[in-house]
Amino acid sequence: MNKAFTRESEGGDEDDDDVSLPALPQGTKNYVTPGGYARLREELISLLDVERPKVVEVVSWAAKNGDRSENGDYLYGKKRLREIDRRIRFLTKRLDIAEVVDPSVHHGRDQVFFGATVTYANERGEERTITIKGIDEADSSQGEVSWIAPISRALLKAKVGDEVNLVTPAGVEKIEVVEVEYPASTA
């Protein structure tokens, strides 16, 4: 077969680690809450101790069945192993550089820091509530936003009653901090 039609990876799969995953801005730290760190670590341990061994077992069984080029279990298993290994590398790197920040140390304060749950109002009087989390743990469907998101950057260090400018695609919008909450200390 012509070499132009074969897929060869010069740098290995290492370059694919962060494809479609949020990237950290250059020179910033990977802040994460204690709960977020625990969830990421739990996922890593589950991949290493449960999922990967199961897939390896299926792949080795399928490899013993003969022709691998038409063996769906083998082909899918190898693909799944690459995905698992890529996720393991990603989680390992992110956990290595993670800086765990406990938002409960700010409990009772009215200034916005990492981990705060902030209620803010726009100029039309519409109120929204968000929680500022780490880039690897934020879930917009739960009202959680990354600390590097524009809304978070606008709100950080503001106090209750402060008006800040939020740059949006439609222009600059003034928002007012209505309420700031932090989780209570668990210790």
CATH number for position 53: 1.10.287.180
Residue 123 lies in a domain: yes
**pLDDT greater than 80 at residue 89:** yes
Residues in a beta bridge with 159 = 111
- Look up the domain containing 81 and give its range: 29-100
Rounded Cα distance, 123 and 29, in Å: 33
In a domain, 2, yes or no: no
Confidence check: pLDDT of 18 > 70: no
Same domain, 88 and 155: no
Lowest mean pLDDT among 10-14, 19-23, 44-48, 65-69: 10-14
Both structure tokens of 6: 């074969």
**What is the pTM for the complete model shown?**
0.76
Residues 88 and 125 in one domain: no
Strands of the chain (E only): list them: 30-32, 98-100, 117-122, 127-133, 144-146, 163-168, 171-181
